[in-house]
A and B are shown apart, each in its own frame.
Chain A
Amino acid sequence: MNAPAPPVGLLAELTHRCPLGCPYCSNPLELEGREAEMSTEEWRRTFTEAAALGVMQVHLSGGEPAARRDLVDLVAHCAAAGLYTNLITSGIGLTAERIAALSAAGLDHVQLSIQDSDEESADRIAGYRGAAARKREVAAEVVRAGLPLTVNAVIHRANIGRAGALLEQAIAWGARRVEIAHAQYYGWARRNRAALMPSRAEAIRAIAEIEALKAAHAGTIVVDHVIPDYHATYPKACMGGWGRRLINVTPTGRVLPCHAAETIPGLDVWSVREHGLGEVWASSPAFVAFRGTDWMVEPCRSCSRKGVDFGGCRCQALALTGDARNADPVCHLSPFHGQVDAVVLAETGSVVPDYAYRSLRLKD
Chain B
Amino acid sequence: MSDAPDPSSRPTLPRGVRLKHDALRGEWVLLAPERLLKLDTVAVEILQRCTGEATFDAVVDDLVRVFAAPRERIAADVGTMLSGLAAKRLLDWR
Contact = CB atoms under 8 A, between A and B. Distances in A.
B87 A177 contact: no
B16 interface: yes
Nearest to B17: A148
A314 to B, nearest CB: 22
Contacts of B86: 219
B31 to A, nearest CB: 4
Contacts of B31: 56-57, 84, 108
The B interface is mostly helix, strand or loop, or mixed, namely loop
17 contacts: A54-B24, A54-B25, A56-B22, A56-B31, A56-B36, A57-B36, A86-B34, A108-B33, A109-B16, A109-B33, A111-B34, A148-B33, A150-B33, A176-B14, A176-B16, A179-B34, A218-B87
A231 to B, nearest CB: 23
B20 A224 contact: no
A207 interface: no
A147 interface: yes
Given A111-B33, A148-B15, A148-B33, A82 B20 contact: yes
Interface of A: 6, 8-9, 54, 56-57, 82, 84, 86, 108-109, 111, 146-148, 150, 176-177, 179, 218-219, 221-222, 224
B80 to A, nearest CB: 15
A270 to B, nearest CB: 22
A338 to B, nearest CB: 34
Nearest to A82: B20
Interface of B: 14-18, 20, 22, 24-25, 29, 31, 33-34, 36, 86-89
A6 B86 CA distance: 30
Contacts of B22: 54, 56
A147 B15 CA distance: 7
B20 A56 contact: yes
B84 to A, nearest CB: 11
Contact of A6 (B15, B17, B25, B29): B25
Contacts of A82: 20
Nearest to A51: B24
A236 to B, nearest CB: 15
A56 B14 CA distance: 18
Given A176-B89, A177-B33, 15 more contacts: A54-B22, A54-B24, A56-B29, A57-B31, A84-B18, A84-B20, A86-B33, A111-B33, A148-B17, A176-B16, A177-B34, A179-B34, A219-B87, A219-B89, A222-B88
B27 to A, nearest CB: 11
Contact of B89 (A111, A147, A177): A177
The listed residue with most A CB atoms (<10 A of its CB), out of B16, B20, B24, is: B16
Given A108-B16, A148-B15, A221 B33 contact: no
Nearest to A55: B24
A85 B49 CA distance: 24
Contacts of A221: 89
Given A56-B36, A82-B20, A148-B33, A222 B25 contact: no
